[in-house]
Amino acid sequence: ARAEALSSCMEPAVTTDGHHMEIVANIGSNADAIESIKLGGEGVGLLRSEFLYLDRVSEPDEETQTQIYSEIAETLGKDKPLIIRTLDVGGDKPLAYMPLPEEENPFLGERGIRVGLNRPSMLRRQVRAVLRANEKGKVRIMFPMIATLPELLAAKGVVIEEAEKLEITGVEIGIMIEVPAAAVMAEIFAEHVDFFSIGTNDLTQYTLAMDRGHPVLAPMVDALNPAVLRLIDMTVKGANAHGKWVGVCGGVAGDPIAVPILVGLGVAELSVSVPVLPEVKANVRKLNYEQCKQFAVKALAQPDATAVRNLSMD
């Protein structure tokens, strides 16, 4: 099956009835970007920019960041979009040069965009570097862990101001949907962004109130829980009401059982780890979009994750 998927990996992921899915990669380096192209990736749905910030004694300066983002943008070129997510660290992932408060509940504390909004000059340096990389490719900027509209508007305001100063146009702005509040409010938020990307790893942990890394609970933290699927459904409907598209960049996007459901829910883009790109594309090519839509309706009506996993397409 691997050989078959590899041999067709440069073909687009089109269902038997002609529905195209964008299959892109989650990456953490330029080497990943190079590899993703070889495996048929149509762009990058998530560049986790943390790699640049971790394991250092000081913040990477704006020049360094510009250079590294530009290198990746150049690898992908003008045709393959590169979604760069701004720094997503939290109370549980401290940086030596950026003291974060001691928190009792770091996952519910200062993490994701909250870190950036509380350190505006650091956020602005990163935003400028991301914007400047657009010259070499097709860059989109994305903010992690948005929970409220004021957070979204503040982050977007930074991009608009810096883009104006740098006289850079055409960089699309998106947010991650990782907090149930954002999924529920998708229809309102959609008016203010170009796209959404659903981070099902965090969305699942926050929906079920179960730590995604918890040694005992982790097996139950399943993104195919119908509660999560209903939030994905709400997100897509909210986005589509404003003509915006939705991707999924959490681990479930690469799960063969999940792919037909996500396709059927109207997700437009699946961002998956580099090695599974060929399999996900091959998987989509075997599907029928109309059938996926019906399958998704069935999945939404299931009582729990196990029932969803036991469903069969026919």
Sign of the alpha-carbon torsion through 124, 128, 129, 134: positive
- The answer to whether 201 contacts ligand PEP (rule: CB under 6 A) is yes
Which one of Mg ion, ligand PEP, none is in contact with 229 (Cβ closer than 5 to 8 A by kind)?
Answer: none
| CA–CA distance, 296 with 246 (Å, rounded to integer) | 16
Distance CA 22, CA 14 (A): 9
Q: Can you tell me which of 81, 116, 199, 247 binds ligand PEP, judged by CB under 6 A?
A: 199
Least distance in angstroms from the C-beta of 188 to ligand PEP:
21
State yes or no: residue 279 binds Mg ion (CB under 5 A). Answer: no
Shortest Å distance, C-beta 152 to ligand PEP: 17
Q: From residue 20 to residue 49, what is the string marking binding to ligand PEP with x (rule CB under 6 A)?
A: --------------------------x-x-
How many alpha carbons fall within 13 Å on the CB side of residue 192? 21
State the binding partner of 66 from ligand PEP, Mg ion, none, CB within 5 to 8 A by kind.
Answer: none
Q: Which residue lies nearer to ligand PEP by CB, 263 or 270? A: 270
Q: Alpha helix locations (H) across the chain?
A: 2-7, 30-38, 50-53, 62-76, 113-117, 120-133, 149-166, 180-184, 186-189, 200-208, 226-240, 258-264, 277-285, 289-300, 305-309
Among 178, 255, 269, 279, binds ligand PEP (CB under 6 A): 178
The residue (of 199 and 254) whose beta carbon lies closer to Mg ion is 199
Residues 160 to 179 in contact with Mg ion, rule: CB under 5 A: 178
| Side-chain half-sphere CA neighbours of 50 within 13 A | 16
CB-nearer residue toward ligand PEP: 273 or 291: 273
User: Which of these ranges, 35-43, 61-69, 194-202, 287-295, lies near ligand PEP under the rule CB under 6 A?
Assistant: 194-202
Q: Does 202 bind ligand PEP (CB under 6 A)?
A: yes
Closest distance to ligand PEP from the beta carbon of 305 (Å): 16
Residues in region 184-243 near Mg ion by CB under 5 A: 199, 202
How far is it, in rounded angstroms, from Cα 215 to Cα 122? 34
Q: Per-residue string for binding with ligand PEP, 80-99, x by CB under 6 A?
A: --------x-----------
Minimum CB distance to ligand PEP smaller for 22 or for 162: 22
Residues 5-24 that bind Mg ion (CB under 5 A): none
Q: What interhelical angle do 120-133 and 149-166 show, nearest 10? A: 60
Minimum separation from the CB atom of position 195 to ligand PEP (A) = 14
What is the rounded CA–CA span in Å between residue 155 and residue 198? Answer: 18
Write the CB contacts of 69 (distance below 8 Å, at least 6 apart in sequence).
Answer: 47, 82, 84, 129, 130, 132, 133, 139
- Do 292 and 261 contact (CB within 8 A), yes or no? yes
**DSSP conformation letters of 139-159:** EEEEESS--SHHHHHHHHHHH
Site for Mg ion, residues 33 to 72, rule: CB under 5 A? none
Of 214, 297, 204, 291, nearest to 255 by C-alpha is: 204
Instruction: Indicate the residue among 199 and 247 with the shorter CB distance to Mg ion.
Output: 199
Q: Binding residues for ligand PEP, per CB under 6 A? A: 46, 48, 88, 178, 199-202, 249-250
